[in-house]
Amino acid sequence: MPDQQNVTTGGQQMKEAVATEQASAFDPVDCFKQMILARTINDILKTRKTQGKFDFYIGCAGHEAIAGVIAALRPDDWLTQYYRDLAGWLWRTRDPYAPIRGAYARETDPMTSGRNLSEQFSSRRFHILPYFAEIAALAPFCAGVAFAFKREQTGQLVSFHCGDGGVATNDFNVLYRAATVHQLPVIMVVEENGWAITFGGKQWGGSVVEWARGGGAHAVEMDGTDAVALYEATLPLAEHARTKGPVLLHLKMGLLDPHSSSTDIYAYRDRAEINKTKEARDPITNTGRRLLQMGLLTEAEIERMKKEARAQVTQIDEQVQGEPLPSGDRLLEHVYSWPKEPTVEPTGAPKTMTMLDAINDALVEIARRDPGFFVYGQDVGGPRGGVFGATQSLVKEFPERAISSPLNEQLIFGIAAGASMADGRARCGEIQFVDYHQSMAQTARLAAAIEYQSFGDWNCPVLMRMKSGSGGGGPVSGSGAGGGGMGHSHAGEHWFTDIPGMITLCPSTPYDAKGLLIEASRTESPVIFLERGRLYRSVAPRDAQGNVIGPVADLWQVPGGYYTVPMRQARRIRIGSGFLTGAIVTWGIMMLEAAIAAANVVAQHGGSFDIVDLRTLMPFDQETISAALREANRVVVVTEEPDYANYGRYVHSWIVQHHFEDMDMPAAFICGKGNVPSVPYDGPEEMAFYPTSKDIEAVLINFATA
Ligand SMILES: Cc1ncc(C[n+]2csc(CCOP(=O)(O)OP(=O)(O)O)c2C)c(N)n1
| Residue spans per domain, the chain | 26-320, 350-535, 567-705
Strands (E), 355-451: 375-377, 402-404, 428-433
- What is the third-level CATH fold of 567-705? Rossmann fold (3.40.50)
Phi, psi of 273, rounded to the nearest 5 degrees:
-65, -40
Contact call for residues 126 and 346 (beta carbons, < 8 A)? no
Domain 26-320 CATH superfamily: Thiamin diphosphate (ThDP)-binding fold, Pyr/PP domains (3.40.50.970)
Contact call for residues 706 and 665 (beta carbons, < 8 A)? yes
* CA 455 distance to own-chain centroid: 15
The letter for the amino acid at 461 is: P
* pLDDT tens digits, one per residue of 593-620: 999 999 999 999 999 999 999 999 999 9
- Angle ∠(57,451,503) on CA atoms, nearest 5: 135
Q: 424 C-alpha to center of ligand 1: Å?
A: 30
Residue 706, pLDDT > 90, answer no
CA distances from 203 to 135, 163, 195, 566 (A): 13, 10, 10, 48
Q: Which residues pair with 503 in a beta bridge?
A: 527
The letter for the amino acid at 437 is: H
pLDDT at 471: 82
pLDDT at 25: 78
Count of Cβ atoms closer than 10 Å to residue 594 Cβ: 33
pLDDT at 482: 84
* pLDDT tens digits, one per residue of 569-578: 999 999 999 9
Domain 350-535 CATH superfamily: Thiamin diphosphate (ThDP)-binding fold, Pyr/PP domains (3.40.50.970)
Q: Which residues are catalytic?
A: 488
pLDDT at 8: 33
The letter for the amino acid at 23 is: A
Q: End-to-end CA distance of the chain, in Å?
A: 78
Count of Cβ atoms closer than 10 Å to residue 315 Cβ: 10
Mean pLDDT across the chain: 95
Same fold flag, 26-320 and 350-535: yes
Q: 83 C-alpha to center of ligand 1: Å?
A: 10
Mean pLDDT score, 612-637: 98
Give the whole-angstrom CA distance, residue 325 versus residue 54.
12
pLDDT at 515: 98
Atom of ligand 1 nearest to the CA of 136: 1
**Stronger pLDDT, 706 or 75, i.e. the higher one:** 75
Residue to mutate, 85, 135, 174, 443, ligand 1, most ligand atoms under 8 Å from C-beta: 135
- Angle ∠(397,400,403) on CA atoms, nearest 5: 115
By percentage, how much of the chain surpasses pLDDT 90? 93
**Stronger pLDDT, 485 or 179, i.e. the higher one:** 179
Nearest-Å Rg of the Cα atoms of the chain is 29
Query: 181-211 burial, b for 16+ CB within 10 Å, e for fewer?
Result: bbebbbbbbbbbbbbbeeeeeebeeeebbeb
Q: 190 C-alpha to center of ligand 1: Å?
A: 13
Nearest Cα neighbor of 560 from 360, 373, 361 is: 361
- Cis amide prior to 507 (ω within 30 degrees): no
Contact call for residues 690 and 479 (beta carbons, < 8 A)? no
Residue 10, pLDDT > 80, answer no
pLDDT band for 675, please (50, 70, 90 cuts): confident
Atom of ligand 1 nearest to the CA of 133: 25
pLDDT band for 19, please (50, 70, 90 cuts): very low
Atom of ligand 1 nearest to the CA of 163: 15
pLDDT band for 4, please (50, 70, 90 cuts): very low
CA distances from 185 to 51, 229, 241, 424, 587 (A): 44, 22, 5, 19, 43
Pocket around ligand 1: residues whose beta carbon is below 6 Å from it? Answer: 84, 133-135, 162-166, 193, 195-197, 259
Residue 12, pLDDT > 60, answer no
Q: 511 C-alpha to center of ligand 1: Å?
A: 47
Strands (E), 211-271: 218-223, 247-252
Nearest Cα neighbor of 12 from 121, 162, 113 is: 113
pLDDT at 24: 55
